[in-house]
């Protein structure tokens, strides 16, 4: 992975082109959304190899020739749309490019675009202020909270759909591979810190008939978790503990065979990670397994995945809390170890989105 960041082999012409893509990124992003949302990519896709003209698109969709024209031309520039090989300059016929296919059909791309639009786009203009102050200066575009987590239950329905869609898409896909690892040894009591909507807790109860799960999270999230646990018939095996894990008065309960944190520690600075793990250390026994599931950007299989995680770090900077990020393996491991833990196992490339599942125990 790091070889890509060490080597600068791109030629000057293509480097300048990439720089222009960055310069016009806000406009190309909105053009891509319009091409998708207004049905233009769908109609081009439906035309298949025959292709379709701008005038035919205009008639089918009820959009002016001008409107179709400017979006299609940007689509050509982005590679989302291609010109049919048999087209003439006076009669352009359009076909769908590979990039257009992924914009239209790929679930990960859809999730990322909706998250960027509904959660990040407006607040991103405050990134520089966030960097300078260490506070999420773009968060007021969503609501009057200190962190986004305090306001998740108060987001609009569209914002909730995009936020939770983004959050669950990645980590949930790792659950089927993570469950056998966690339950390889008997687990009667599991603490799910940052359990959110109870998806992991419910998955545990479905996987193992004996386990009982306590979800530890902010009050807004535990209220949702309780409803979801009851709706799936696990109210007797899933309970909740409402608290702020950073509050100095918060102490974690004892008695867990395993402690689970899925995509949770990236919500905190490294110093806060150590603070949280120090509290867990006080409640854990030498036999308590501490599991951390995170997408570490330097442990990804593909450069595109690392890029997405690096971009997600900026969401944490200007929207979520102002001080956390998607971490590298070594820096997150070190922050946990200095709280008094020792890494026992590291499973990388867990699930289709290449998560890392780390198991720690007290030294």
Name residues whose C-beta falls within 8 Å of residue 82's C-beta, 6 or more positions apart in sequence.
76, 94, 95, 96, 97
Query: Strand pairing of 94-96 and 81-83?
Result: antiparallel
Distance CA 353, CA 177 (A): 12
Instruction: Give whole-number Cα distances, 318 to 2, 44, 196, in Å.
Output: 26, 37, 21
Check: CB of residue 333 under 8 Å from CB of residue 358.
Answer: yes
Q: Per DSSP, which regions of the chain are E strands?
A: 81-83, 94-96, 189-193, 212-217, 238-242, 258-262, 289-294, 341-350, 355-362
The position carrying tokens 């007021």 is 140
pTM of the full structure:
0.89
Distance CA 38, CA 63 (A): 9
Q: Which residues of the chain have pLDDT under 70?
A: 1-2
Mean pLDDT of the chain: 95
The tens digit of pLDDT for each residue in 257-304 reads 999 999 999 999 999 999 999 999 999 999 999 999 999 999 999 899
Q: So what's the pLDDT on residue 1?
A: 61
DSSP-assigned states of every residue in 195-221: -TTSHHHHHHHHH-SS-EEEEEE-HHH
The position carrying tokens 């257009």 is 100
């Amino acid at each position: 992975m790091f070889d890509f960041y060490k080597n600068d082999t791109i030629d000057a012409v293509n480097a300048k082109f990439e720089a222009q893509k960055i310069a016009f990124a806000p406009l190309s992003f909105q053009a891509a959304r319009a091409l998708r949302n207004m049905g233009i990519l769908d109609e081009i896709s439906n035309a298949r190899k025959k292709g379709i003209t701008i005038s035919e698109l205009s008639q089918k969709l009820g959009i002016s020739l001008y409107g179709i024209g400017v979006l299609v031309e940007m689509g050509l520039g982005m590679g989302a749309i291609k010109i049919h090989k048999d087209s003439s300059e006076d009669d352009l016929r359009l076909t769908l490019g590979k990039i257009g296919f992924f914009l239209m059909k790929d679930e990960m791309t859809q999730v990322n675009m909706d998250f960027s639009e509904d959660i990040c786009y407006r607040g991103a203009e405050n990134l520089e202020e966030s960097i300078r102050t260490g506070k999420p200066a773009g968060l007021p575009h969503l609501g009057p909270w200190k962190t986004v987590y305090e306001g998740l239950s108060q987001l609009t329905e569209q914002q909730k759909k995009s936020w939770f869609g983004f959050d669950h898409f990645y980590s949930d896909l790792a659950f089927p591979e993570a469950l056998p690892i966690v339950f390889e040894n008997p687990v009667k009591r599991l603490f799910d810190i940052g359990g959110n909507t109870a998806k992991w807790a419910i998955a545990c109860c479905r996987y193992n008939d004996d386990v009982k799960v306590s979800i530890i999270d902010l009050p807004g999230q535990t209220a949702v978790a309780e409803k979801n646990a009851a709706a799936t018939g696990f109210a007797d095996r899933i309970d909740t503990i409402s608290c702020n894990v950073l509050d100095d008065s918060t102490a974690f309960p004892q008695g867990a065979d395993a402690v689970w944190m899925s995509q949770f520690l990236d919500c905190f600075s490294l110093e806060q990670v150590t603070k949280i793990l120090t509290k867990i250390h006080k409640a854990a026994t030498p036999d308590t397994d501490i599991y951390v599931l995170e997408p570490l950007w330097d442990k990804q299989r593909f450069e595109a995945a690392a890029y997405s995680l690096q971009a997600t770090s900026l969401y944490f900077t200007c929207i979520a809390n102002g001080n956390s990020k998607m971490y590298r393996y070594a820096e997150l491991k070190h922050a946990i170890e200095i709280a008094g833990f020792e890494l026992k196992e590291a499973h990388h490339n867990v699930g289709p989105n290449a998560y890392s599942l780390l198991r720690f125990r007290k030294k």
